[in-house]
Structure 1
């Protein structure tokens, strides 16, 4: 433990103890102490006589060797606070053997360019800073470019030419940061001769250089002279919305930008290509699915969803294992757009996973699959998991007419529950091609009820006579299904056959028959005679349900009761429409 603690910077600052603060710059403990000492010096030196400020320069130049970046920045600030007396020492420091000192000297000169209103003294730094643009250390070249961007605008027009020419040369520097700072400096200096070199820089491999060049060109008052330059400017500024509005014009440049070093540029370019529906971008999208950055992979999956390329299936199937959930979500959507049957098994697998985030998306994607995909979905109606059965049924219903023929085949040839689902789905789709196959299915006792309900939903009058025959069935459930179907169809021929069912001992049968008659009564398909027949049953239909015999049930059923003791079960209790 040291004998003495750290210097009290606040006390030294209050006393304006310059010597004490310079000593504190050498404190080897906490770098915060050194940083605060340098910051305090910058404040204390303001208003001091030039000779007092000048005495601090040697110690401050030594302090530029500081490793800690925050202390280094504070020392640069202190040197710039010295003002005009520091210019010549800083110029000399540009040739120091230590890279850190040369960088700090250039930065301090740049700060003086902002704060010192003495162009004659600033002009002295121009040639040395131009020489520093060729320094072997890129941090020195970068600092020199920044410094010239601050100093040259303060000089007369004749003195700005040489810095401008040398900064233009720096636009070809091997290090992107130097090119970026050179572009920014050229924008500040404001010389028109920099415009064409900066336009060329819009194609720089570095996104930060391109962006700075575009901003500098804007400051210089430049406007694109052709569509290509406009595309380059908007890519540099990452103005993706404007690029999208240009249609196909920017596609070649966007294809290049999609391979940029900057992940934001890659993602943005891929998104625009996808939204433009550019088929030339498919290869880029496929590469993007393997990108190290999740945002680029998301953009690639989104683009493939919009383009819908069949050649992407295999890569998309691999991408279903991506560690990023949003990537997987977009890949699932993209698989639907491929309309490829190879996507069906993995999409069904997602449904079987019950993973809430993805099930609905997988279902929507399955809806887009082609005929071969429909054939692959139908077996899922027989899955052991009812959750999967119901969602497969929803998918096939949404597919609609394209699924009708495969569903008819399933109705005729598949075992339960697939054939039962097929009948139900055919009814929900409502395609009249299913009418005769469903009529034939009425002969299958296991399918009669399903087929009757489906025929009712389709509403085709060709089903009326077969359904009327079902009203004579010994099965209450089948009679009820037939009555409901006939009500949906609304054919007048059903009126006379339904009225006797109003007297059935089964309440559910009475209720379905009454509901069917009321439905037809409300429709515009009955003549006055048929309506009067239904009206004559008004009291029976509206009579409240009553169970007149007390008894003990042996078996409870869905209609009302079925037991060994006879009882009288009357009334229906439906409201009759006002005439």
Structure 2
């Protein structure tokens, strides 16, 4: 009687007990549970029958047994879906869950009908099997499950099982029906359809999944995001980054969690921005995702230090310090003092100073002074600042280039000119403005060294320009 109880939990426990005690008299009732609408009950019944030593008497019972176990690979291997219900009028119809029982016009379409039902663009190689799913004789036909899914008269548990089957069997003929199911009135159907699309791995579903990110039901949205994470299509990051700015904190947390699977700058920017979120859960999820991606964005710190958003520039350094520790962060930031972009050097200097770092080498000291545009102090360093100043001639910031030209004009000599020309010869992809600054600095030094007098020939101190 417990196997027929209205409470699914009671039925599940009764099946478990029957199996553990080897109650052979319960076999018929356990087989009947293959048609139970509750997935856990069906699984418990299948496990119980295995313990008792029961074996299916025909292919129909075998199919129902494997569906209850969710052993999709074995179903496919045996090709049981070619005729899943046998005679629709047979007494075994109740073996399949809910509306999966045999129905007229649904069971086992013939080869000619199969060809008509499959769009040409869907006759392609299954990513999970490596065979032509429309024609290979070892792959079962899925039209049965497709019709179950599309029939509004079928009960919800059966339609959900059909959605699962379309994903688990790895047949790309299931992609289009599942894409359509993303608009189903039932939220459970929409959510499970998203998961099945992720399992199938066909990028044709990308557009439909992006639209489904706007689903009003959070659980559906979560499963859609998971599917996008599995597919990893190139365009998924931007809609996920947009979701990370949602007014709903749950949606933001979902987005930043999934973005941890994408090694893309736009995704990292969204994660860095989320570190300022008012909800601690969102910030924590963003930090976890950044930890997963640290090898990627840690090698691209200059990109984020040049970002136009001050919060991004600040947060990339905060995240770096938090995730990899201060000592390692310092070792990554010091080389950025040589970066050809002023904003990168400025942020690196500020971060290093905030960590208590002080330059130990004259060249490091010079780089800090150049980043701070403290030109009088640079000139006082003299020849010790020469190498850093030559590098600054090719900076993207005009004020840095001009300051380097004037400073080199003050401290340079013939050897400096040779070093400048060597830098121009050895440089790769040097911009014209950098070459112009280098030529100007060399000219100023040569004029000074030649002892030419006259107003304007000897440059004034850059600190008073």
TM-score exceeds 0.5: no
Q: Tell me which of the two structures has the higher relative contact order, counting C-alpha pairs closer than 8 angstroms and 6 or more residues apart.
A: 2
Return the TM-score normalized by structure 2.
Answer: 0.41
Return the TM-score normalized by structure 1.
Answer: 0.34
Return the index of the structure with the highest Cα Rg.
Answer: 1
